[in-house]
Amino acid sequence: MPILKSVACAGLTVMAACISVPSLSGPAGVALAGAWKSYVNERFGAAADVPADYQAGEAPANDDGLSFTSPEGDAQILIWGALATVSEDNFADYARHLASYDRDAGWTISYSAGKDDWFAFSGSKAERIFYEKIIQACNGEIANHVRIEYPALRKVEFDSMVAHVAKSLHSVKGYQC
């Protein structure tokens, strides 16, 4: 069962507290500052923030993650974990393996970056943009992912949300680890 909580932290130095807030959105469903909820996948420990007004999808039977859809229905955030032992020798090979799936599906990869324990890539296809970030967890046995897909025409609107979600991706101890 996923753990969801809505939080907004006051940016004041005076007793900053986290409180539940109603859903708030800016232009075209992009979250306003502070209007976030956190998702934690209990199996793999993938954790990240999503805009508070995004609707969670139905959890899959294997409990590997969850999808969230924008109020307009045109943007999705997927957060999941996976066993990273997919026959690749190292994390860089895993990154190339994942990017090849997107290329095979018709996506043009226009950006990639990474270090020993994380990588990110993005691209476009048919008026859509995606951004995906993957981090190692559980001593390299698990890869935790966040993927965001949204309309290319609204890139400027989504830039800060994508940056926030990507930066928030982290791992906690999941029961698979």
Q: Kindly report, residue by residue over 97-126, the tens digit of the pLDDT.
A: 889 899 999 999 999 998 888 999 999 999
- What is the assigned CATH class of domain 3-171? alpha beta
Average pLDDT, the chain: 81
Q: Is 168 helix (H, G, I), strand (E, B) or coil?
A: helix
Residue 89: band (very low, low, confident or very high) from pLDDT cuts 50, 70, 90: low
Is the pLDDT assigned to residue 16 strictly greater than 80?
no
Strand 76-83 to strand 55-56: parallel, antiparallel, or no bridges (unpaired)? unpaired
> Would the CA dihedral through 7, 177, 44, 176 be positive or negative?
negative
Under 8 Å CB-to-CB from 143, ≥6 apart: which residues? 81, 82, 83, 84, 91, 94, 134, 135, 136, 137
Tokens 């997927």 sit on residue: 78
The residues facing 67 across adjacent strands are 78
Domain ranges for the chain, please list them: 3-171
